[in-house]
C-alpha cells in the first residue's frame, strides 16, 4: 500500500473555484466513508480549511487511486470533474509526506508560518479516527506531521515570517496602520463561533477593542465564547452573545465585523450592509448612488466621454461648418470630415501625424473663430466615434501614415471617504457579498484579497531552516515506514523458526522418554540460541536494507528464501494494525 494525496489549494486554484468546492462537515464525513469503501483505498483523511481541500488515502494502485480520489472530490464538492481537474495536484509516497509536513510547518499557507494549520490537521485526524477511516499509515503520518510542525515553530523563527490569517487580515483592514492603535476603542461583531471566529474574537480582544459581540446559529456556543472573552485575564473587554437574527441591528453599531461560518450561502448581502450604513447616519440620509459604480448609475449621471467627441455632427471642434471649417486647416481629410460627428481634436485623429503638421493644426484650432451659436456640446455615441476613428485609420493607411494611439492621460478619480465599517470575511465559501466593497464607507477584506496581498509578503530567513527540517523528517519517516513494511515478514520468519524448534523438541522427547526436566530444558534453550544466532544478523541487516530507498524488495526476497506463507505474513500485519489502531483511536 502507498500514500496518495489529491487536492487543491490557493496555490493551484482561484478563490472562486475553492469557494465552490468547499466541503461542509457532512460532506467531509460522506467523502471519508465513500473513499474507504472504494476499491483502491483502505484508509482516508480529509484536510479541509479555508484555502485548501485535500484527500489523503492509502492506496494499492496509483492510477486507479488518482482517478477514484479525483472523482470523489468532484462528487462531494459539487464541482464537475472536468472543471475541477485542471486545478488538482497529486503527491505520491515521499512527495505526499513532504507535502503534509510542509503544510504542518506553515510553508504552504497563504500567510507563511501561520500556526493555525496545526489545529486543523489535528481536527482532521480526530475526525478520521472517529469514523475509523485512519489506519496505521495515516495515524502515524498525521501525528508525525503535528510533531514536525511543533518542532519547526519551537526551533526556528518561522513565526516571524507571517502571522495567523486573522492577524494578517486585520493588518489589511488597518491599511498599514498599527493594529493596536487602529482597533483601540472600536466595537467588533464576530459572526460564527468556530475555531477561526474564536481566534478572531480573542485577537480583537487583545488588540484593545471596547466590545465584542458574538453571533452564532447555536446560541450556546456563542454564549460560551463570549464568557471566555469576558473572563480572560489578559483582556478587559465587554463581550456578549446574540442570535443570528440580531446581526442586522448589531451592524449599525459595529466598527469591525469578522465573519467565518460554515454557511453555504451569503450571511451578509450588500443590501443588508447598505441598510446598516444608513442606520449609522444620524439624519437618515444616505447617498445610494455614491455606492454604485459608474456602469450601475442612471444614464443621466454618467459623465461625458473625454476626447474628440464633443462637437455636434457635421462640425469641427470649434463649432464651424462647411468651408469655414476647412479654411487654412493644414489637414486634407475630406473623407474623415464626412464622417458624422467626427472631431479632429481627438487623439486618435491626429495620431501618426508629422510633428510640424501637428503644430500647424494646433495653431489653426487655437486661432479659428469661435462657435456661431450657443448650444451645449453634444456627446457622441461611442459606436459612431469608433466608426469615425476607423475611417481615419483607413485613410492614414492609404496615404502611408501609421496611426499610433498615444497613452491616454490618467483620469483622476474622486477619493473615497474614509471607511466607517471594516469587514473581514474569512469564510470559504464567502459569507459576505463581494459587492459590499463598492459601498461608500465600507472596507471589505476577504480570502481573495488576502491571497493577492500575501503573494508579495516577505519570507523570513528561517524558512530555509524549516525546509531543512522538513527534508530530514521526510527521510526519517520514509525509512521508518519502509522498515515497518518488512517487520511482519521478519515476525513471520521468527514464528516459523519457533515452530520448528518446538517440533524438534517434541520429536526428541518421543525418542528419549527418560530425559529429565533439567536436561530437556538445557537442550531446548541450546536449540533456541542456535536458531536466534542464525537469524539475528540476517533479520537486522534486512531491516537496515529495507529502510533505504528501494528496499521494499527485501521483504519479498525473505519470503521467497524461507518459503514463508503469504497469509501468515498478512495475518501478522493485520494483528499489528488492529493493535495500533486501537491505541490511536482517541484524539491526537
DSSP assignment of 513-553, as one string? TT--HHHHHHHHHHHHHHHHHHHHHHHHHHHHHHHSTTTTH
CA-CA distance, 349 to 336, in Å (whole number)?
9
Residue 218, SS3 per DSSP: coil
Closest to 499 in 3D by CA, of 527, 477, 458, 540: 527
Residue 105 annotated as catalytic: no
Which cell numbers in the block locate residue 29?
464525513
Closest to 65 in 3D by CA, of 100, 38, 96, 45: 38
Closest to 159 in 3D by CA, of 189, 196, 115, 99: 115
DSSP assignment of 120-182, as one string? HHHHHHHHHHHTT---HHHHHHHHHHHHHHHHHHHHS-GGGG---HHHHHHHHHTTTS-HHHH
CA dihedral 400→401→403→407, nearest 10 degrees, is: 150
> Which DSSP symbol is given to 316?
-
Q: Catalytic residue, from 50, 105, 260, 329: name it.
A: 50
Q: Is 328 left (phi over 0), alpha (psi -120 to 50) or beta?
A: left
Please list, in sequence order, all residues whose beta carbon lies within 8 angstroms of the beta carbon of residue 214, skipping any fewer than 6 positions away.
Answer: 190, 193, 197, 201, 222, 223, 225, 226, 229, 239, 240, 241, 242
Residue 91, SS3 per DSSP: strand
DSSP assignment of 459-478, as one string? --THHHHHHHHHHHHHHHHH
Cell 514536525 found at: 148
319 vs 146, 244, 306, 309, CA distance in Å?
A: 77, 63, 17, 12
568 vs 483, 495, 528, 542, 555, CA distance in Å?
A: 18, 9, 21, 19, 13
Which active-site residues does the annotation give?
50
Amino acid at each position: 500500500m502507498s500514500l496518495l494525496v489529491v487536492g487543491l489549494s490557493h496555490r493551484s486554484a482561484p478563490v472562486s473555484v475553492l469557494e465552490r468546492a468547499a466541503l461542509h462537515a457532512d460532506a467531509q464525513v460522506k467523502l471519508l466513508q465513500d473513499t474507504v469503501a472504494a476499491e483502491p483505498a483502505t484508509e482516508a483523511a480529509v484536510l479541509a480549511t479555508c484555502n485548501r481541500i485535500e484527500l489523503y488515502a492509502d492506496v494499492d494502485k496509483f492510477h486507479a487511486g488518482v482517478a477514484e480520489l479525483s472523482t470523489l472530490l468532484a462528487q462531494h464538492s459539487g464541482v464537475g470533474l472536468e472543471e475541477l481537474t485542471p486545478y488538482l495536484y497529486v503527491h505520491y509516497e515521499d512527495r505526499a509526506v513532504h507535502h503534509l509536513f510542509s503544510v504542518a510547518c506553515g510553508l504552504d499557507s497563504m500567510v507563511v508560518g501561520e500556526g493555525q494549520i496545526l489545529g486543523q490537521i489535528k481536527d482532521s485526524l480526530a475526525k478520521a479516527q472517529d469514523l475509523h477511516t485512519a489506519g496505521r499509515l495515516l495515524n502515524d503520518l498525521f501525528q508525525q506531521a503535528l510533531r514536525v510542525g511543533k518542532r519547526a515553530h519551537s526551533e526556528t523563527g518561522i513565526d516571524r515570517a507571517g502571522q495567523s490569517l486573522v492577524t494578517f487580515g486585520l493588518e489589511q483592514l488597518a491599511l498599514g496602520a498599527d493594529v493596536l492603535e487602529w482597533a483601540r476603542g472600536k466595537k467588533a461583531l464576530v459572526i460564527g463561533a468556530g475555531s477561526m471566529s474564536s481566534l478572531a474574537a480573542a485577537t480583537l480582544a487583545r488588540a484593545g477593542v471596547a466590545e465584542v459581540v458574538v453571533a452564532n446559529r447555536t446560541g450556546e456556543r456563542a454564549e460560551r465564547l463570549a464568557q471566555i472573552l469576558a473572563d480572560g485575564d489578559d483582556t478587559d473587554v465587554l463581550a456578549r452573545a446574540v442570535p443570528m437574527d440580531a446581526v442586522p441591528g448589531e451592524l449599525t453599531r459595529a466598527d469591525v465585523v469578522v465573519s467565518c461560518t460554515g454557511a453555504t450561502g451569503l450571511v451578509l448581502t450588500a443590501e443588508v450592509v447598505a441598510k446598516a450604513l444608513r442606520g449609522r447616519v444620524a439624519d437618515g440620509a444616505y447617498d445610494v448612488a455614491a455606492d454604485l459604480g459608474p456602469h450601475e448609475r442612471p444614464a443621466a449621471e454618467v459623465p461625458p466621454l473625454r476626447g474628440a467627441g464633443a462637437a455636434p455632427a457635421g462640425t469641427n471642434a470649434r463649432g464651424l461648418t462647411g468651408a469655414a471649417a476647412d479654411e487654412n486647416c493644414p489637414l486634407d481629410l475630406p473623407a474623415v470630415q464626412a464622417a458624422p460627428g467626427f472631431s479632429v481634436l481627438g487623439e486618435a485623429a491626429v495620431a501618426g501625424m508629422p510633428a510640424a503638421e501637428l503644430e500647424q493644426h494646433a495653431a489653426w484650432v487655437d486661432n479659428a473663430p469661435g462657435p456661431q451659436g450657443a448650444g451645449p456640446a453634444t456627446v457622441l455615441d461611442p459606436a459612431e466615434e469608433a466608426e469615425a476613428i476607423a475611417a481615419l485609420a483607413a485613410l492614414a493607411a492609404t496615404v502611408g501614415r501609421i496611426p499610433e494611439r498615444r497613452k491616454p492621460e490618467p483620469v483622476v478619480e474622486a477619493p473615497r471617504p474614509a471607511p466607517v465599517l471594516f469587514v473581514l470575511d474569512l469564510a470559504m465559501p464567502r459569507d459576505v457579498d463581494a459587492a459590499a466593497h463598492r459601498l461608500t464607507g465600507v472596507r471589505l477584506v476577504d480570502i481573495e484579497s488576502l491571497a493577492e496581498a500575501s503573494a508579495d509578503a516577505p519570507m523570513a530567513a528561517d524558512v530555509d531552516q524549516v525546509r531543512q527540517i522538513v527534508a530530514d523528517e521526510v527521510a526519517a519517516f520514509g525509512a521508518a515506514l519502509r522498515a515497518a513494511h518488512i517487520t511482519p515478514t521478519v515476525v513471520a520468519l521468527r514464528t516459523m523458526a519457533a515452530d520448528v524448534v518446538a517440533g524438534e523438541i517434541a520429536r526428541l522427547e518421543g525418542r528419549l522418554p527418560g530425559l529429565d526436566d533439567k536436561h530437556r530444558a538445557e537442550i531446548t534453550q541450546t536449540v533456541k540460541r542456535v536458531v536466534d544466532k542464525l537469524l539475528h544478523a540476517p533479520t537486522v541487516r534486512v531491516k537496515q536494507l529495507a529502510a533505504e530507498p528501494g528496499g521494499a524488495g527485501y521483504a519479498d526476497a525473505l519470503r521467497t528464501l524461507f518459503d514463508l506463507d503469504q497469509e501468515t505474513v498478512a495475518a501478522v500485519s493485520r494483528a499489528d494494525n488492529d493493535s495500533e489502531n486501537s491505541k490511536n483511536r482517541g484524539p491526537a
